[in-house]
Structure formats: structure tokens, C-alpha cells
Amino acid sequence: MRNNVSIGLLGLGVVGSGVIKLIEDHQEELVHQLGCGVNVKSVLVRNLEKARDVQVDQAYLTTDPNDVLHNPEVDVVVEVMGGIEEARKHILEAFATKKHVVTANKDLIALHGPELQDAASKNQCDLFYEASVAGGIPILRGLSDGLVSDRIQQVMGIVNGTTNYILTKMNQEGVTYESALEEAQQLGFAEADPTADVEGLDAARKMAILARLAFSTDVELSDVEVNGISNLALADLQYGKKLGYTMKLIGYAHCQNHNVEVSVQPTFLSNQHPLSSVKNEYNAVYVNGEAVGETMFYGAGAGSLPTATAIMSDVVTVITNMRLGVNGRRFVSPRFRKELTPPEQRFGQHYIRMHVKDEVGAFAAISDLFNQMDISFERILQTPRTKNELAEVVLVTHRTALLNFKESMDKLNNLDVVESVESTFRVEGDAEK
């Protein structure tokens, strides 16, 4: 083993700068851990003249990806450029030249993870992507190493810091969605175009990766049901407070008898649930295993150094594998054929807010409909009569099959005494439920 292992970086933005900073600042720790140094040999950038947050030898900067991918001195390629097709092309090229790859690219892994893993294995290369989910939280390593002997039954979490910041502001300060989003943008927690975050797309990509790993099956991004937070009404959050709930955008993955369901949706959590106390831009993933029971991973879900820390943990693993001569051997193909859980086998509680005609027999008609669907209520709230003679009614059901709930919503919307169903949300009780 030579005295130094060389890294090639594809991209030098916020995260790439963090990687260089960690390599420079933690060189002694890396040498102690690995028995060799780690150095950056080549860095792909778009603009050679751009001012940077870190000092990099100008001789190492390049605008030609071949200077990284075909550099015989580069052992490990770290992809932090983002995007999908160009990054995919570069990673496949890296494997073809027998270079190991570490990436933080959740979009790419969610869409093309199995293809890239197959290419890595065929070329006896490593592919690691810890930083693609939840920043500096070691959740993927926790699932693949720490809980590898267990059967994971459920993974649910807050995996998008932008939406969690927005919802924290709405919950705690009573501000509107628009005001909370504007503040998140001013602080740099939300992009100028926040669509991927607030519509749940970012979280869906991460949940596809988590479910694929947790349940050893080929979950695809298209399998994830997605609803975002952009249409949330402050009234629902206020009712949630009265009922003892906190609103979060929750990624949910459940496996039973090898049937899998994966979703991202605004969810009312009981204030007793561990995830309800996760605030601002922080992430947390709650895992339930058959043997280990309940565990939770919590920490910074983004940022230069937290994400760079996850990348460097993968780099250290690659170099350790190099020393042992076992690169490309860690990948385990999916064990189970994917089966999506049908609606009649998906159970949960639901929150419903509706406007109802304030007249005798109205609630009796609603109760009769739910009784026919075999759905009972855990909580009921009703506001006084309004000027337009409509009452606002909030219901929380007991656990029921999703199929029954959807059918009941169709019938409820057609009920004469119901003016409108304003909102429905999933409800998760305390951690023991």
C-alpha cells in the first residue's frame, strides 16, 4: 500500500469545499486511522477563475472531466456536482477506469442506484452514498451495518430540513406557510425555487433509497406516494395543537410479509412521538426493527461539513477496503421481489376537517356513513355556528384500512349535509402504537 491515496473531486461547491477542508484539517486523524495519507489530486470545476471558500492548488483544477476520470493517480472519485445524466455518465466512466466512487447525489441514486451498483460490482469497484440521505446522520450505514442482522419493519422520518423549518415556524409562531417559506429562503434553508422540497420530491428520493436498503427490495422512486406542504392551512395546525399533535412532513416506509408501502406526506404526530420534537432544519429517522425495537438517528440533515463528514466516512471505508483487497465485494443484491401493499392492507389513523351544514341530523348522517364503512372516531371537535350557517367539524379516526377511508371520503363529499371536506391527513400516535 502506498503512502497516499488520491481523491478526484467532481464539483467544488459547498459540499466539495467541505470535503477539501476536512481532508486538510483532519489529515493526522486519517493517517492514524488508515495508515496512509489522503490527498486531493484533481478537481473538476465549471469556472477556473471563480473565488472559492477553500484554497486549492490551481494546478489541480480542471474543466475537463477526463483529467479526473482518466488520471492514473486518482484512486477514488467523489461526485458532488449534482444533476443526474452528466453525473451518471461520469460515474459509469469512473467504474470503467477501475476507480471507486463516493457520491452525495440522492437524485441519481434514487433513479439509477441499482444500475450504478451493478456497474460497480462488475468492475470490482466500491460505490457508497451515505451523504445522499440526511446529511451527516449515518443512517445508511446504520441500516446496512449496525442493523444488518435484524428485520426492519418500519422506517419513518423527517428527511428534509427545509420543510421541517417551515413547519416549525408555522407550529410555534403561528405564521402562514408563505411567511415561513420566505424566511427560510432568506436564511438559505430554501432555494429560490423550493418546489423539490415543499412538494415532497426531495424527501421521496431519500425514502426510496432508505426503503430499498431497509427492506432489501428494488423500491423505485415511482413507488413512493408523494404529497407536499404547499397547500397546508394554518387552521389545521391550530386544530392539531388542540388535539395534542404536531405537523411534520413524514417519509414513511413499512414492510410486512415482504409487502412494501412508501410515502411522503404531511402527517400529524402525537406530541409523545420522538419525531415530534425535531425542530427547525434538523433531520431524524426513526427505525423499528423486529429484534432491536425502536431506534432513532438525529442530526444535521444538510450543510457543508455535516455532508462532507458523511462523504469522508465513505472514503475511509473505500480506502480500508483497498488495504484489505475487498473492493466491490460488499454489494448484496436485493433479496426479495418487490410487492406493493394493497390499500386494503394499509392501516392508519386519519384527521378530517370539513364544513357541515349546521342543522339537526347533520352529524347523525355523517356518523351513519362512517359506521357503514366500519370506521370509528377517536377524537371529535366542532366549532360554533358561523355567519353562513356552516359548522367546522374535525374528526380523528381510529385505525382503519386505507381502502375504507378513501371510499368513505368519496361518499362524504357526496353527502348532502357536507358542504366541503377541507383537508385530510395521516395521523401517527405515540411510539408504541
Dist. CA 385–CA 45, nearest whole Å: 63
- What sign does the CA torsion over 269, 270, 272, 278 have? positive
CB 341 within 8 A of CB 131: no
Dist. CA 215–CA 192, nearest whole Å: 35
**Hey, which bits of 174-325 come out as E strands?**
225-226, 245-256, 259-270, 282-289, 293-300
Dist. CA 88–CA 97, nearest whole Å: 14
Is residue 206 part of the annotated active site? The answer reads yes
278 class by beta-carbon count within 10 Å (0-12 exposed, 13-18 middle, 19+ buried): buried
Q: How many CB atoms lie within 10 A of CB 307?
A: 25
Q: With CA atoms as reference, report the closest residue to 297 among 312, 314, 282.
A: 282
Dist. CA 243–CA 171, nearest whole Å: 13
Q: With CA atoms as reference, report the closest residue to 299 among 148, 137, 95, 128.
A: 137
Choosing from 21, 206, 279, 433, the catalytic residue is 206
What single-letter amino acid sits at 349? Q
* Residues with active-site annotation: 206
